[in-house]
Amino acid sequence: MKKEELPQDPSSLNKYTKEVCYVVDETGNYTTGLSSGWDVKISALDVTWNDIETKTADAGQKVISGEVSPVFYYMQLRVMDLEIISAYTGFWQWQIKRHFKPEVFKNLSDKKLQKYASLFEVSLEELKHFKK
């Protein structure tokens, strides 16, 4: 692709990032150029973000109905998985799964809850007293 043909379609990530692409310059040499996006990629990202928003909303409803703990909600909100949470908190993945249970979550010490609060960038009170 020639440098002047590099797609610059606006996307929701414009403010945050640009993508580095290899392009051919006017002399025929390979170089890099910055792209703000292109329609196909924007559509794929929109589908992905809509899926994340849906999963987060569902997780919030499950917390409110008492099916899961706020740890599960914040995991969805921050787009994390058990492996990431385990690496940052030092908890085993099986422990984190147990912490998804509201009855187990209620009995966690403030020290353990603070690890989650720090990771999810919320206060201890926000974590303990979930409000969607």
Q: For 80-87, which contacts have Cβ atoms below 8 Å and span 24 or more sequence positions?
A: 85/116, 85/119
How many separate domains does the chain show? 2
User: What is the predicted pLDDT for the residue at 129?
Assistant: 95
Residue 49 scores a pLDDT above 80: yes
Residue 68 scores a pLDDT above 90: yes
Residue-range definition of the domain harbouring residue 106: 46-128
> For the domain that residue 65 is a member of, what is the CATH number?
1.10.260
Tens of pLDDT, residues 74-126: 999 999 999 999 999 999 999 999 999 999 999 999 999 999 999 999 999 99
Q: Are 24 and 88 in a shared domain?
A: no
Quick one: tokens of 93?
């993945």
Residue 18 scores a pLDDT above 90: no
Q: Are 54 and 93 in a shared domain?
A: yes
Specify the pTM: 0.77
Q: Are 21 and 51 in a shared domain?
A: no
